[in-house]
Amino acid sequence: MQTFKGTESNVTSGTSLQASQSSYKRLNNIIGWVLFAIALFTYTATVERTASFWDCGEFIACAYKLQVPHPPGAPFFLLLGRLFSLLSLGDVSQVAYWVNMMSVLASAFSILFLFWTITMLARKLLNKQFGALTQTEMWTVFGAGAVGALAYTFSDTFWFSAVEAEVYGMSSFFTAIVVWAAFRWELIEDEAAGNRWLIFIAYLIGLSIGVHLLNLVTLPAMALIYYFKKTQKVSLWGGVAAFGVGMVILGIINSGIIPGLPSAAFAVERFFVNTFGMPYTTGIYVFAALFLGVLIYGIIWSARKNRPMLNTALLGLAFVLIGYASYIQVLIRSDFNTPINENNPSDVINFVSYLKREQYGSRSLSYGPLFFSRPVDQKKGAPQYEKRDGKYVVFDHAPEYVYDGDKQMLFPRIYSNQPGHAQLYSQMLNIPLDQSGQPTRKVTMGDNLQFFFQYQLGHMYWRYLMWNFAGRAGDQEGSGYLLPWTSDQGLPDLIKNNKARDNFYMLPFLLGLFGVVIQYFRRSRDLLIVGLLFFFTGIALQIFLNSPPSEPRERDYIYVGSFYFFAIWIGLGVVALIDGVSAYLKNEKLRVGLVAGLCLLVPVMMAAKSWDNHDRSNRYHSVDFAKNLLNSCAPNAILFVGGDNDTFPLWYVQEVEGFRTDVRVCNLSLLGTEWYIQQMKRKTYESEALPISLEFAQFNKGKNDVIPFYEIPAVKNGINLKEYIGLIKQNNPAIQVPLTTGEMTNILPSTTFFLPVDKAAVQQLGIVSPKFQPMVKDTLVWNFGKQDIYKPDLIMLDIIATNNWQRPIYFSTTLGQSNYLNLKDHMQLEGYAYRLLPVQVPGASDGFVNTDLMYKTMMTKTFWREMNNPDSYYDDTYRGSPVVSARIAFLRLADQLMREGKNAQAKEVLHRSLQVIPDKSIPYDQISTNYIQILLTVGDLKTAQEMADVIATRADQSLTYIKQTGGGGNDANFDLYNLQTIVNAFRETKQEALAKKYEAIFQKHLNALG
């Protein structure tokens, strides 16, 4: 009977454990899906309804028509994006929304897997099996998972990426599911079943390559998970060896597979074509057959010989390659020569260049030159191949520059020689520079490391981490983070009321630190793994990227993976707090409920504070800005634009919405590449090929990249532009000088260009307004200046010379001054773009306004959806170029109308501006201040005074704050300028009483700031 009772007891106990385990799994699944639903609702409610700025317009356009975006591409992302775009059911205005929803869904799944990962790690902290957990221990685990997952849900960077069509939301999903699968594999006892999970992980990693390479940096930590599970006796050197194996696998995939396999294929291809005279692509097929044959044979042989580890490794490789095969889409679509076809990776030569991101150059990481270093010699580097006469022929070699050893350094951090960067290094590190840009004192490793720790790790990583888990000071470029004791008292209203100013009182950050501590004491191996994941997706990325001293935008999105792993620690911090108060709260249920409940308030607070600055549901102006820019152009125009935000929204509206496809958008950043110039030389949609006379040989890679200025006395007074382009096309020695290498190079022999104008033909075209007809000259003459011609400039000059005024040529107002070729006084402002005309208006150094054309454009052809909605959130990107371009256009038009005596129209124009871009949604800026004088001149004292009061009050607050905090510089100058502009406006319009009122504010601060 005793034995029977014991058996009954054991059976009862086993049944109880199974029931407990089943209850745990059921609740774990239910809570995980509830958190998924919360994240899905949050991101769906706040998702952008159209194409955001930066890369989103390009990705949506490329997903919609399966085109080729910037290297290294994201083919799997685009394939899924194409499927989501079909949910628009033919409504092209909804395509962007549905591609954005793909990020929403992927991000919500990231939260689901984050929850499940945290609960696995939290249970390990309790050191109990599923079925052995008590009810309170289960809720401790679930509370930890919920807090960590929700904290990440409402974190600044992840939320930003979750509501737009960028790759980082989906990249986070792959990181989340791979890490979850690795920890899930660790729990599996059956080795055969475990191997299937390893193959599943390999497949996910392969797929992730077609989204973003971030997922690869998890591999060293994955190797440690494998080592800790498979090794009975763990040792330091064993762990180091496992980590090393993980690094090798990372290197194999990142270098040996992604660009390595196509590179090897090209080597075989070159051998078969050049040696055996076989047709193009023969060697590629031979290589593919041999490689796949060997891999398949290895898989079969290892299975027959019962080598499970080798078999699993080869199957893992096979599944990585299956995932990586999404890149076949790049080759196929590029071969169709789609309108967006960056780098034209249609053959193996360009495909390898595309994968290696050669377009962006390289940065020295271990040893290299510093920012002031100049090459002292040049060597021939890797050969550059092209197809010619049935062979692969070397047409040039990539240059390898040799630098003075005294101007190089180990671990070079202060390396960038881009324009303006030397001055930034000088300011940051107090390194004086002489007139030639050379430092006047020795630059030391201390300077190098100071920049690394203060700027690269401090400003470009730590600041972003604290944005997410301590609080953000605002959305202005370079904004810092907030501490619990940071006070808003005395802050100017614009700073205090900035929607992105959110103080989390460091509560999420402190929870994360508690999680680190408890994991250190209870599961140090898990801390090592999570710590490595945190390091490799954050600090290690910053070391690899080697940030220059200035970036075109905030780069926090790069480190979203690092913030993901910190969120794991936030969740584990709940376990630490529950354990920490156990001495004070003996009642276990009360302790768990109270602590977990209080901790849940942390992500609730984050959601409440962050909702307004992440809600993009009423934001459309990225697309409207693009339409306004295109509508500033005449039919069949050529439009030169600059950076991403001038280009990608335009690509989107043309490719997806079919808007103004007659305008050829020509990006000057890409116009220095041979493949893009070739694309500009073919018809696209309604736009005919651009009038480029130069042939491929004159703009091929390495040819005429820079044409140096070298004055020749015989042509000092000027050179005919058409003849000059002809001489370059002929490779004529008349405009060439020898280099130190003995090669000949083209030069710019004069500072002045002239271009004959057929006045009768121009008049017949009707492109010049009658009031400007007297200013049409027989010859367009302008001073280009003593400067080198870069390839984009050369192509622009060729277009101008060859076009012969047949097609309208426009320059976006967002371009830098150097991009206008010193032709501004021959340009007519017609909205957001200048049109080049054979007209020279005296004194029009910033172009001249055609009021008839521009009035029609700005008043009837522009779009302003939700720009006047104070509930819509517009960050620094929108307040920058889009709003500044609009306000400048309205200002220039109103000013010219006033000068022409059309006061009623001038008033109407400014009122239109204030209606569509009101202060309540986009605060007045320096451009707005200049409205005041025009308003006063046209008799609108009421509006002028209202604007002056708002601007002066803000300037008063800002300057008072600057004085109190000891700041100054550009901010103070900005506010003083506004006040002085207001004073001058009222004084010049004889409003002396009001002028004195504002002058009192101006003088008060001018005297205080000294």
**Distance from C-alpha of 794 to C-alpha of 705, rounded to nearest angstrom:** 9
Say how far apart CA 105 and CA 579 lie, in whole Å.
35
Q: What is the mean pLDDT of residues 845-852?
A: 93
Task: Please name every residue paired with 752 in a beta bridge, in sequence order, or none if there are none.
Answer: 783
- Nearest one of 955, 965, 949, 968 to 1009, comparing CA atoms: 968
Q: How far apart are CA 463 and CA 486, in angstroms?
A: 15
Residue 717 has a pLDDT of 83
- Percent with pLDDT over 90 in the chain: 76
What is residue 362's predicted lDDT score, i.e. its pLDDT? 76
Asked if the model's pLDDT at residue 825 lies above 50, the reply is: yes
pLDDT digits (tens, 9 = 90+) for 268-299: 999 999 999 999 999 999 999 999 999 999 99
Packing angle between helix 95-126 and helix 2-46, nearest 10 degrees? 150
What pLDDT, on the 0 to 100 scale, is given for residue 203? Answer: 96
The partner residues of 379 in beta bridges, in order of sequence, read 400
* Mean per-residue pLDDT of the chain: 92
Sign of CA dihedral 52, 54, 58, 59: negative
Stretch 44-67: mean pLDDT, rounded?
Answer: 96
pLDDT at 863 over 90: yes
What is the predicted pLDDT for the residue at 2?
38
Per-residue pLDDT, averaged over 762-768, amounts to 90
Query: If you average pLDDT over residues 795-805, what whole number do you get?
Result: 95
Identify the residue whose tokens are 């970036």: 551
Biggest CA-to-CA distance, the chain = 120
User: Is the per-residue pLDDT at 419 higher than 60?
Assistant: yes
pLDDT band at 4 (very low <50, low <70, confident <90, very high): very low
Write the pLDDT tens digit of every residue in 919-972.
Answer: 999 999 999 999 999 999 999 999 999 999 999 999 999 999 988 887 655 678
Closest CA to 229 of 605, 643, 522, 525: 525
The more confident residue out of 745 and 666 is: 666
Report the pLDDT value the prediction gives residue 967, as an integer from 0 to 100: 65
Q: Which residues of 261-281 are buried (b: 16+ CB within 10 A; e: fewer)?
A: bbbebbebbbbbbeeeebeee
Question: How would you classify residue 430: left for phi > 0, otherwise alpha for psi between -120 and 50, otherwise beta?
Answer: left
Order the strands of the 848-849 sheet from edge to edge. Answer: 664-667, 638-641, 809-812, 833-836, 827-829, 848-849
- The string of DSSP codes covering 137-184 is HHHHHHHHHHHHHHHHHT-HHHHHHHTSS-HHHHHHHHHHHHHHHHHH
Q: What angle do CA 617, 619, 621 make, to 5 degrees?
A: 160
pLDDT at 20: 67
Question: Is the per-residue pLDDT at 342 higher than 80?
Answer: yes
Rounded Cα–Cα distance for residues 780 and 759 (Å): 11
pTM (two decimals): 0.93
Tokens 């929304």 sit at which residue?
97
Residue 425: exposure state from Cβ atoms within 10 A (0-12, 13-18, ≥19): buried
Residue 620 confidence (pLDDT) = 95
Is the bond preceding 72 in cis, omega lying within 30 degrees of 0? Answer: yes
Of the chain, the percentage scoring pLDDT greater than 70 comes to 97
CA atoms 869, 872, 876, 882: torsion sign: negative
